[in-house]
């Protein structure tokens, strides 16, 4: 696939046209050559770069981290240490979020298990939400 317009690049990469333009604007994707009619034309390498960016975004990497990873990809003779550090930091973020979500799940289950399923004035859900000290998980 070579010299394709932005619409085809969008379809091939799964990245919206506006997002492709944004990535060009912030320097994640080099500005492609243009036709005499001012249409952008993308090459296979541009689409592969868009796929890389999209996959990294799907995994939750921030733009600055993606910029660094792209720089590493563009200069393959560098040490992999920086890429490993970025991925390790992302993993730590994910593990932290999972721990918080599990804590929230536990608290919600406890809250629902303790409810009388009666009137609102006996509702454990309302009581716990109204008094944060009733929660077992202060992390949320």
**What is the number of structural domains in the chain?**
1
In a domain, 134, yes or no: no
State the pLDDT at residue 51: 97
In a domain, 112, yes or no: no
In a domain, 14, yes or no: yes
In whole angstroms, what is the distance from residue 43 CA to residue 5 CA? 9
State the pLDDT at residue 11: 97
Task: Note down the domain range covering 68.
Answer: 6-78
State the pLDDT at residue 38: 85
In whole angstroms, what is the distance from residue 61 CA to residue 51 CA? 14
CATH code of residue 16? 1.10.1660.10
Question: 136 pLDDT exceeds 70?
Answer: no
Question: 45 pLDDT exceeds 80?
Answer: yes
pLDDT digits (tens, 9 = 90+) for 68-119: 999 999 999 988 999 999 999 999 999 999 999 998 898 888 777 776 666 6
Which of 16-20, 40-44, 130-134 has the weakest average pLDDT?
A: 130-134
Report which of residues 35 and 72 the model is more confident about.
72
In a domain, 71, yes or no: yes
* Residue 77 Cα distances to 64, 74, 80, 107, angstroms: 21, 9, 9, 49
CA atoms within 13 A on the CB side of 73: 15
CA atoms within 13 A on the CB side of 56: 21
In a domain, 122, yes or no: no
């Amino acid at each position: 696939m070579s010299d394709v317009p932005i619409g085809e690049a969008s379809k091939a990469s799964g990245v919206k046209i506006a997002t492709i333009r944004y990535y060009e604007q912030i320097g994640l994707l080099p500005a492609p050559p243009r036709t005499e009619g001012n249409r952008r034309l993308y090459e296979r390498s541009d689409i592969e770069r868009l796929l890389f960016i999209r996959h990294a975004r799907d995994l939750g990497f921030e733009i600055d981290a993606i910029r660094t990873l792209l720089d590493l990809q563009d200069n393959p003779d560098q040490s992999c240490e920086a890429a490993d550090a970025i991925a390790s930091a992302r993993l730590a973020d994910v593990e932290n979020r999972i721990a918080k979500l599990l804590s929230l799940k536990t608290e919600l289950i406890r809250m629902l298990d303790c409810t009388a399923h009666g009137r609102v004035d006996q509702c454990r859900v309302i009581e716990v939400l109204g008094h944060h000290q009733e929660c077992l998980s202060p992390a949320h």
